[in-house]
Every structure is written in C-alpha cells, then in structure tokens.
Structure 1
Amino acid sequence: MDIKEIQNLIKFVAKSGASEVKLEMDDIKITIKTGGEERDTTTFVQQIPMSAPVAQTVAPAASAPTTAAPASATSEDNSKFITIKSPIIGTFYRKPSPDKPVFVEVGKSIKEGDVLCVIEAMKLFNEIESEVSGKIVKILVDDSSPVEYDQPLFLVDPS
C-alpha cells in the first residue's frame, strides 16, 4: 500500500463519518481515528517486517491467551446483563439540571418507563427512558460526556 492509497483511505473515512477504522494486511496495520465535530483525523501506520525472526513471533503468541482470557471472562459476565444504548447523538447528563439529584445510581432498581438520563442534542434535552425492568449494574458513560448513536450507556441486571 503506497502513501497515495493511504491518503485516499483517510479521506474516505473522514467523509464516511466513522469514528475509527482499523485495517490489517499482511505487512501493514493502519488505524484511522476521526474526531466528532472537529473532524480531527489521526492515522497510525505500522509496518511489520516480513522476515521477522521466529523468536519474536512466538513471544506475542504466547502472551495472547493471557490477554484474551480476561476479555472472554468479562464478556461472559456481561452476557447476562441488558445493555441500554443511546438512541441519539448528543451530550449525556445524569441529572435533569445541575442542582437536582441524579436520575439513577448503580444498584438502584428501575422499571420500564423510568427516566435514566438526559441527552442534549441541538439545545433539546431528550429524556431517555428504560425499556426494561431490573437493577442498574454499571453506568458506562461519564456525566457531561458526548455520546454516539447506539453507544452503550447502562448495564442492567434483569433478574
């Protein structure tokens, strides 16, 4: 892949609106990250030598199962939870206003229709209601943080 193809790929990703794209080929790895409103584009290109000694390729392979095991354990633990995702792009707020208490805390029981948070989009504050009943296990987004469409916001234990 030459520099011209990489530049065309960067332009394509920036126009597509994707926030991150990773491309791995035989001898090259490319990660392109684009910012939200600012449209900052960061590109990482890593050239992998084709004639790497066997000792170098064996060491990462041996460490791969140890990094994969915690990730698979986490996904198994999270599989019993329901993920509540953002229905819109905007700014996530845990409170209806700065002087009011938060809508929900970790450990709080919720029922269908309860307001979980507010997402501000274009000066409109949209209340996000729960579609499930259960208990809040984890809040995945910090207060006043930007969120994307379909981004996980809460983990709920339905039992």
Structure 2
Amino acid sequence: MELKDIQNLIKFVAKSGASEVKLEMEDIKITIKTGSEKTETTILQQAPMGMQQIPMAAAAPASATEAPSAAPVATDETSKYIEITSPIIGTFYRKPSPDKPVFVEVGDTVSEDTVVCIVEAMKLFNEIESEVSGRIVKVLVEHGTPVEFGQPLYLVDPS
C-alpha cells in the first residue's frame, strides 16, 4: 500500500464521519481514529517495500467500530420505532455476498450487536450492528443503493 493510498484513506475516513476504522490485510494493519479536529493513524505492521501488495478488493472485510446511532423517528405513525442509521457514506448491502441470505428480514428479532447489513466504502466492507434490541419493522433502503452518513436503514420496534 502506497503512502498516497493511506493518505486518501485518511481523508475519506475523516469525511465519512466514522470515529475509527481498522484495515487488516496479510502484511499490514492500519487503524485510523478521527476526532473533532485531529485524525490519528497508526500503522501496526508494514511489509517491506519490495513485497507485492494484495489488491484492496481482495482484502478481508474491515469493520467500522463506530456503531450506528439509534434515534426516534419523527412521524406520529412510527414514533414508537427506533431507527438504525448508517454510520458512514457508502453502498448498502443486505447480504454478505450475492449467494447468501440477507442478514435480517422484516419480523426478525435483533439484539444489540446483531449484524444487520454491510456498508461498503472504498472497497472496505463495514458490518453495521444494531444498537437496540427489538423486532425489525421495516427496511428503509434497497439492496445495492448508496447511503449517506446518518441515513435511516431500518425501523426497529423495541417493545
């Protein structure tokens, strides 16, 4: 991985709103933590410069450790439901891969830390976990569509 690639990754993470991203490949481990005004990058291991790097698309999925925020929905009809929102900008996927079943369906019960979807950003596949326990009432985003930071993905009935 070139220095320019790492700098671009830092800029993307800073703009995405994620507080921390960890990238682990066979020969390099990078942790990027962002704060209100500073960005901190820690490279834990790096292969010698002469070694061939694996392409980003083939890298193991990394997960953003910032959990999605849960906020009440404003409308009267759905005011009893809690939103699971996207912690980053990227592409929303309901399945871990095209030949696998979706993570959660309407009616499924989720608990805290249940993986509900993946948001892909710059070839990094970030597992999004539910911060609340309850039953999935509605899926708000279609599989394979772009999502923004803070965009509601699911409605959860906490009762």
Provide the TM-score with structure 1 as the length reference. Answer: 0.53
More helix by share: 1
Q: Which residue number in structure 2 is paired with residue 81 of structure 1?
A: 81
Tell me the equivalent position of 2:107. 107
Q: Structure 1 residue 145: deviation in Å?
A: 0.2
- Matched to 1:143, the amino acid is H
Q: Which runs of 5+ in 1 are unaligned?
A: 1-73
Hey, what does 1:120 align to over in structure 2?
120
How many angstroms does 1:146 deviate by? 0.2
Q: Deviations over 1:41-74 (max 9, x none)?
A: xxxxxxxxxxxxxxxxxxxxxxxxxxxxxxxxx9
Which whole-Å CA distance do the structure 2 matches of 1:75 and 1:144 have between them? Answer: 26
Deviation per CA, 1:2-26, whole angstroms, max 9, x where unpaired?
xxxxxxxxxxxxxxxxxxxxxxxxx
Map 1:125-144; keep pairs closer than 5 Å. 125-144=125-144
Residue of structure 2 in register with 1:20 after alignment: none
Residues in 2 aligned to 1:103 and 1:84: alpha-carbon distance in whole angstroms: 14
SS at match of 1:118: strand
Aligned equivalents of 1:106, 1:157: Cα separation in 2: 11
Structure with larger Rg: 1
Instruction: Give 1:75 deviation, angstroms.
Output: 1.3
Q: Match of 1:146?
A: 146
Q: What CA distance in whole angstroms lies between the structure 2 residues aligned with 1:138 and 1:156? A: 7
Match in the other structure for 1:25: none
Structure 2: any 5+ residue segments left out of the alignment? 1-73
Question: Identity percentage over the alignment?
Answer: 70
The amino acid of 1:94's aligned partner reads R
Number of residue pairs aligned between Structure 1 and Structure 2 = 86
Instruction: Calculate the aligned-residue CA RMSD, in Å.
Output: 1.0
Query: Quick one: distance in 2 between partners of 1:125 and 1:149?
Result: 15
Considering Cα pairs closer than 8 Å and 6+ residues apart, tell me whether 1 or 2 has the greater RCO: 2
